[in-house]
Amino acid sequence: VVGFDIVELCPNPEERASDFVAAKLYYKMLTYKFAGTDEEDEYESNFNETKKGVSKFNTEEDEY
């Protein structure tokens, strides 16, 4: 699975079953995506990587 698009399954105020079907489909697609990976395997996660370079924000304490 490379990607999936379920935008068309947005909540419908007249039909409550569509919310459940959309949630179930989303869960099933995530299951297919991560079916072959172990819990310890890395999967496109870059949360721990730090970016080096100049930041546009001031990381120093404010002088006020």
Q: How many domains does the chain have?
A: 1
The C-alpha atoms of residue 9 and residue 15 are separated, in whole angstroms, by 11
pTM for this model (two decimals): 0.46
* Nearest Cα to Cα of residue 20 among 30, 11, 29: 11
Residue 21 lies in a domain: yes
Residue 20 lies in a domain: yes
Predicted local distance difference test score (pLDDT) of residue 18: 77
User: What are the pLDDT digits (tens) for 43-64?
Assistant: 565 556 666 666 666 666 655 5
Domain that holds residue 17: 1-38
Using the predicted structure, report yes or no on whether residue 1 has a pLDDT greater than 70. no
Instruction: Give the number of other CB atoms < 10 A from CB of residue 34.
Output: 12
Residue 52 lies in a domain: no
